[in-house]
């Protein structure tokens, strides 16, 4: 069910809500400053087994993946070591890209800084 995430841990849940609200505000501010006549895109959270996927919904109804956030500490062959709260850019509709772009639990402000109105930043 969209925007209904099963509780993981108190720290993760609070950080996820903080990050999600900050991204909604960042997107609304971007649209009001640059595209005042357009309807701002919306965000939705989708709960998965390993990740929470945040989708961006355009004014026309099209969806794209905004980012993935890891729910648990894990290690996979494709992604390597993953910590709970890792912010990851989307590689495809179903899979995050390798290498975290921040962590919403350890440093939520940096994760917010590494995210723009269209998604998570590329590695520098």
10 Å CB burial of residue 68 (0-12, 13-18, 19+) is buried
Those residues with Cβ within 8 angstroms of residue 115's Cβ, 6 or more apart along the chain or in another chain: 19, 23, 26, 67, 87, 101, 102, 121
**53 lies in a domain?**
yes
What is the pLDDT averaged over residues 5-14?
A: 83
Those residues with Cβ within 8 angstroms of residue 15's Cβ, 6 or more apart along the chain or in another chain: 85, 104, 105, 108
**pLDDT tens readout for residues 46-64:** 999 999 999 999 878 889 9
- Location of structure tokens 């945040």: 54
Shortest CA distance to 79 belongs to which of 101, 60, 96?
96
Give the global pTM.
0.89
**3 lies in a domain?**
no
**5 lies in a domain?**
no
| Chain mean pLDDT for the chain | 90
**4 lies in a domain?**
no
Structural domain count of the chain? 1
Domain that includes residue 19, residue range = 10-120
């Amino acid at each position: 069910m969209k925007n209904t995430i099963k509780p993981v841990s108190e720290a993760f849940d609070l950080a996820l809500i903080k990050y999600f609200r900050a991204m909604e505000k960042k997107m609304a501010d971007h649209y009001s400053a640059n595209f005042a006549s357009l309807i701002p895109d919306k965000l939705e959270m989708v709960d998965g087994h390993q990740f929470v996927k945040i989708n961006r919904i355009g004014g026309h109804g099209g969806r794209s993946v905004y980012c993935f956030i890891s729910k648990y500490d894990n290690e996979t062959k494709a992604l390597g070591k993953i910590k709970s709260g890792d912010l990851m850019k989307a590689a495809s509709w179903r899979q995050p890209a390798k290498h975290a772009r921040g962590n919403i639990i350890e440093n939520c402000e940096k994760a917010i800084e590494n995210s723009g109105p269209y998604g998570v930043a590329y590695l520098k």
